[in-house]
Amino acid sequence: MIMKTRILLSALLILIFGLLSGAGTAYANEEDVLKTLSYKLPVTRNGVTVTKVATPFWQSEYPGPVIDVRSKKSGTMTVQAYQSLRKLDSPVACTIKHGIYHPWSKTKNSVIHYYTITPVEDYKALKKAKLEEYTIHAGDIITNVVYLSEGFCKGNLKNRQIEFTCSALQENQRDFQLLGKAENGSRPEQWLYVKCEEGHKAFIQDTALLNKNGVKKGSLSNTGKSALDFLFKTYP
């Protein structure tokens, strides 16, 4: 339930702010919004262009890192960002507000949305099979499979999103075949899409922001009051 709530919030934010290009997009209904939750895009790194999957949230039960940008003092910080995360050839100066940068942070900051870039995982059904409550027919293709949390994944099937335990698909080679070659050594990228004080919007990678002077890495600490009631602690 918690993850579904986060996904719905992600969908609503996409509806408001648009996709990676920053352009506004009008959707006819909730199903159209859900279809945008993960999608393929070309990503160029070190001169090599590879198709990846973009997802508008950070994965894991407890996503990280917690990024503390001088949160105890009001003000701003200027960092290097990019106009597009597809190809990192257009760096721009971007001034962001001090604060805690994390998908669950309640402090005011400059984030519009959070994104994860992962390798493509598409699967083809070799025969009619059940995947959780879904009936999958021979030849059906489940595209853009990404990890959610607590052993659950999601993917797109015939223009709709479905959720299932990852092992039910990825470890069932009798019924499902991975299309293409697995990118076992590829690490996910996590990005923050932010509104810069200069007036433009840009992308900052989490690792780059953490390397900025004055920025500290923090952790999550559950207060026990509710599943989403967390304190953000900063490492010395």
- The token pair that represents 83 in the structure block: 């106009």
- Going along the chain from its start, the domains and CATH numbers come out as 2-118+190-217 (no CATH), 121-179 (2.30.30.40)
Structure confidence at residue 225 (pLDDT): 43
Structure confidence at residue 130 (pLDDT): 93
- Provide the 3-class DSSP secondary structure of residue 155: strand
Q: Are the CB atoms for 175 and 126 separated by under 8 Å?
A: yes
Query: Long-range contacts made by residues 10-14, C-beta under 8 angstroms, separation at least 24?
Result: 10/37, 10/56, 10/57, 10/113, 11/36, 11/37, 13/56, 13/112, 13/113, 14/56, 14/113
Structure confidence at residue 27 (pLDDT): 28
Structure confidence at residue 43 (pLDDT): 95
Please give the chain's pLDDT, 236 residues, in tens. 444 434 443 443 333 333 333 322 222 333 333 345 688 999 999 999 999 999 999 988 889 999 999 999 999 999 999 999 999 998 999 999 999 999 988 888 999 999 999 999 999 999 999 999 999 999 999 999 999 989 999 999 988 889 999 999 999 999 999 998 877 667 899 999 999 999 999 999 999 999 999 999 987 776 444 334 445 555 54
Structure confidence at residue 62 (pLDDT): 86
**Dihedral angle computed from the Cα positions of residues 174, 178, 182 and 186, in that order, rounded to the nearest 10 degrees:** -110
Structure confidence at residue 61 (pLDDT): 85
